[in-house]
Structure 1
């Protein structure tokens, strides 16, 4: 059932935006400035004390991650759960624009519907 939901999400996001494509984590650096969907296991999470931003790391734990999903404090109100605890260790699909921060790829999430849980 979860795999079906992931496939439906990927298909649905593809229909909504012709510019969105599902990409492999290993290829993420080729998509800077593009809107993509990435499906991967969350390897580690972190919430800053100062700004209360949430971070989900894919590929490996920080600081060796291949991609960091960033959810700013002001956007946490758009979630029905606490992302850093609820999504830790789960496989998820996340959609958004890829950008570089200090040489590392990041993807900003503003709404819960940008994230679909797999397992």
Structure 2
């Protein structure tokens, strides 16, 4: 009976530690320049929004937030599709322009530039 209880506690602790480790790994903070090395991985990218544009006439009506370097020399882009803009309240290109932000999501590549597609405001936080 005592051995069973110890085994159950041990298994529980291993599961808790494994879940915590996975969450920490998912929240790894990187710079926009490092993002190209994390394609397919969930990370948090932090940088200054150097340029921001709502492409209202483009397919999907995307908003682009370019971190650390402005378009067309951007090194990392946050993409918010038009269908998700209303979730942000104020226009994202106004809210985040010039601010230091951190964005969490899975890194992908579009036209040789790493990006994270954001569908919810909780994925972006403004830093001081």
Verify same fold: TM over 0.5.
yes
Higher relative contact order (CA 8 A, sep 6+): 1
CA RMSD of aligned residues (A): 1.8
Structure 2, unmatched stretches of 5+, are 1-19
Counterpart Cα distance in 2 of 1:87 and 1:113: 13
Which is greater in Rg? 2
Counterpart Cα distance in 1 of 2:22 and 2:99: 25
Query: Is 1:91 matched with 2:115?
Result: no
CA offsets 1:24-47 (integer angstroms, 9 cap, x no match):
222111100111101111000011
TM-score calculated relative to the size of structure 2: 0.76
**Which residue number in structure 1 is paired with residue 86 of structure 2?**
77
Aligned to 2:35, the other structure's residue is in SS state: helix
**Which residue number in structure 2 is paired with residue 113 of structure 1?**
122
TM-score calculated relative to the size of structure 1: 0.81
Aligned to 1:17, the other structure's residue is in SS state: helix
Aligned pairs, how many?
A: 106
Residue number among 7, 29, 52 corresponding to 1:45 in the alignment: 52
